[in-house]
Amino acid sequence: MKEYPKDLKVVYRHFLIHPQTATIPAQASCAAQKQGKFAEMYHLIFEKGYNAGRNFSQENMDTLAKEVGLDMGKFKADMAGDCTKQVQEDMALMQQFGVGGTPAFFINGRFQSGGGPPERFKPLIEEEIKKANERIGKEGVTLANYYEKWVLEKGKKKM
């Protein structure tokens, strides 16, 4: 993100390897996102959830939500409502595209399984930026609609 601030957009989707332990924190991060605090909650879940004895209890998520400064009424309502559905939809979408583990990345629709140092992703990111720059301005493609036109409309719908 630091190296490509105008060219890179990161979108998170939930894919639960261990739904028995990961469902509550996934719903909590979703609820935080609805209040514009996804990143803060995400980092606290790892710092004070995963790294603190894997404490993914509802009580701990509530404590973290308060620490982030969330409206607790909205947080709890979103966790129980919209976020339950959102996590399920994310799981189905990721399975549709062949994701079987985490981390998993799509760079303009190109699947990359597993993590690694940023250098691993740099050549692919630069290749996709070059393609985008060549396509923008042709056939009604703009920066604003590039992803929709070249990734969503022209890309694979299933793996």
| pLDDT tens by residue, 7-18 | 888 888 999 999
CA distance 35 to 79: 12
Burial of 107 (0-12, 13-18, 19+ CB in 10 A): middle
Query: Do 36 and 69 reside in the same domain of the chain?
Result: yes
To the question of pTM greater than 0.85 for the whole model, the response is no
- pLDDT by 10s per residue, the chain, length 159: 888 888 888 888 999 999 999 999 999 999 999 999 999 999 999 999 999 899 999 999 999 999 999 999 999 999 999 999 999 999 998 998 889 888 999 888 888 888 889 899 999 999 999 998 898 888 888 888 888 888 877 766 665
Query: Do 86 and 59 reside in the same domain of the chain?
Result: yes
At 41, list the tokens. Answer: 């909650």
**Is residue 42 situated within a structural domain?**
yes
Look up the domain containing 83 and give its range: 19-96
Query: Do 58 and 91 reside in the same domain of the chain?
Result: yes
Instruction: Tell me what the pLDDT averaged over the chain comes to.
Output: 91
- Count the Cβ atoms, other than its own, within 10 Å of residue 67: 12
Query: Do 92 and 144 reside in the same domain of the chain?
Result: no
How many domains, in total, are found in the chain?
A: 2
Query: Do 90 and 126 reside in the same domain of the chain?
Result: no
Q: Can you give the pLDDT at residue 1?
A: 83
